[in-house]
């Protein structure tokens, strides 16, 4: 009996130690940074944008929240040095018109907002050899009170997916277009080719989402190890105490 009651606190102490070390290792990664960054802009609302071709079939479907990040040269200069200011624009789905066009090897999604003062296009291309589609170009034209913005790049390779499937990324993703312009996407799902019956094909998830799913797996694994350790400790304790009774 004395053996039994001495073993239990020991096992409990061991578990407590494990829990504390586990907690500390997690708390360390969650520790707040010493410098608090400025509050991030609000998350854009998720919009649904479709492109229909001449005979009424949907040829491109996209669902995403869009945030434009443009670095603009403001009119004010300090000592002949151009001052850049950041222009962050969340596209509001109910104020954004979408259209576009599709042909056999490319598909264009055209978005317009701000009473035609901001136009944005996404150009998707396909590589029939590798059976892949990808975002190959992004173009932005915007009229602002102080300036005219025109940024484009047609040698991009983003959102790569397999033909017949859709590309999906729940996490925020930053697509750098030029040195002064990037697009942040949120909860994105897109399919520019091979749509059947206005439905997305099987979704292919981006790496960011897969990394995200690793965290619960790691936590689950750690918990499983903990349970195993506790179980083994308990069994060893029980075996010893049983042995103790038998010798009496």
Query: Does the footprint of ligand NAG cover residue 198 (CB under 6 A)?
Result: yes
Helix (H, G, I), strand (E, B) or coil at 26: helix
Burial of 15 (0-12, 13-18, 19+ CB in 10 A): middle
* Rounded CA separation 200/60 (Å): 9
Query: Does the footprint of ligand NAG cover residue 76 (CB under 6 A)?
Result: no
Query: Does the footprint of ligand NAG cover residue 54 (CB under 6 A)?
Result: yes
Helix (H, G, I), strand (E, B) or coil at 5: helix
* Rounded CA separation 51/98 (Å): 8
Residues 95-134 interacting with ligand NAG (rule: CB under 6 A): 104, 112, 115-117, 119-121, 127, 129-130
Closest contact distance (angstroms) between CB of 211 and ligand NAG is 19
* Rounded CA separation 64/91 (Å): 10
Closest contact distance (angstroms) between CB of 111 and ligand NAG is 8
Output the six-digit token pair for 241.
């105490």
Query: Does the footprint of ligand NAG cover residue 12 (CB under 6 A)?
Result: no
Q: Which helix (H) or strand (E) holds 228?
A: helix 207-247
Among 79, 214, 217, 246, binds ligand NAG (CB under 6 A): 79
Q: Which residues bind ligand NAG (CB under 6 A)?
A: 41, 48, 50, 53-55, 57, 61, 69, 71, 78-79, 86, 88, 92, 94, 104, 112, 115-117, 119-121, 127, 129-130, 139-143, 150, 153, 155-156, 163-164, 178-179, 182, 184, 193-194, 198
């Amino acid at each position: 009996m004395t053996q039994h009651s001495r073993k239990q606190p020991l096992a409990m102490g061991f578990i407590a130690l494990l829990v504390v070390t586990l907690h500390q290792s997690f708390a360390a990664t969650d520790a707040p940074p010493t410098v608090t960054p400025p509050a991030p802009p609000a998350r854009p609302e998720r919009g649904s944008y479709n492109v229909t071709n001449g005979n009424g079939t949907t040829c491109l479907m996209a669902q995403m929240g869009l945030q434009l990040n443009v670095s603009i040269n403001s009119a004010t200069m300090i000592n002949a040095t151009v001052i850049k200011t950041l222009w962050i624009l969340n596209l509001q789905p109910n104020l954004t018109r979408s259209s576009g066009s599709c042909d056999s090897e490319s598909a264009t999604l055209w978005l317009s907002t701000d009473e035609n003062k901001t136009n944005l296009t996404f150009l998707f291309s396909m590589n029939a050899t590798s059976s892949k589609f990808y975002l190959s170009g992004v173009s932005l034209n915007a009229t602002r009170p102080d300036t005219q913005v025109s940024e484009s790049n047609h040698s991009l390779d983003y959102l790569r997916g397999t033909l017949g499937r859709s590309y999906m990324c729940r996490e925020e993703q930053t697509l750098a277009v030029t040195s002064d312009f990037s697009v942040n996407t949120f909860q994105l799902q897109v399919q520019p080719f091979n749509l059947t019956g206005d439905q997305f094909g099987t979704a292919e998830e981006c790496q960011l989402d897969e990394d995200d799913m690793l965290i619960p797996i790691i936590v689950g694994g750690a918990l499983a190890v903990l349970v195993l350790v506790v179980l083994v400790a308990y069994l060893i304790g029980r075996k010893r105490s049983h042995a103790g009774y038998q010798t009496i």
